[in-house]
Amino acid sequence: MKKDLHPSSYRFVVFKDMSNEYAFLTKSCVETKETIKWEDGNEYPLYKLEISHTSHPFYTGKMKLVDTAGRIDKFKTRYAKK
């Protein structure tokens, strides 16, 4: 294996699904700017997700539209003139 191929900055990070407020704690090396107080009383870096296994239609079995960027509104305004 090549030396220094993998990052060495692994630490505990909280990943939070913003569509349903589900959060989980795991080790990661993702860069974050925000922190959150976890259930154990410690403060950890926070990484916000748009979708996770608790909100993805494949895993939930429900067709749920997650419109985080206003894609539907953009589509409607673009084609409303035609």
At 43 the pLDDT is 96
Give the span between the Cα atoms of 39 and 81, in whole angstroms: 51
**Tell me: the pLDDT tens digits for 46-78?**
999 877 767 666 556 666 555 556 667 777 777
**Tell me: the pLDDT tens digits for 2-29?**
888 888 888 999 999 887 888 999 999 9
| Domain total in the chain | 1
Would 28 be classed as within a structural domain? yes
Would 5 be classed as within a structural domain? no
Q: Which residue has the tokens 């997700």?
A: 49
Task: State the residue range of the domain holding 58.
Answer: 11-79
Would 4 be classed as within a structural domain? no
In the predicted model, is pLDDT for residue 44 greater than 90? yes
Instruction: Grade residue 38 by pLDDT with cuts at 50, 70 and 90.
Output: very high
CB 16 within 8 A of CB 36: yes
CB 14 within 8 A of CB 45: yes
Q: Are strands 23-28 and 34-37 parallel, antiparallel or unpaired?
A: unpaired
At 60 the pLDDT is 61
Would 3 be classed as within a structural domain? no
Would 62 be classed as within a structural domain? yes
Question: What distance lies between CA 5 and its chain's CA centroid?
Answer: 25
Would 1 be classed as within a structural domain? no
Would 27 be classed as within a structural domain? yes
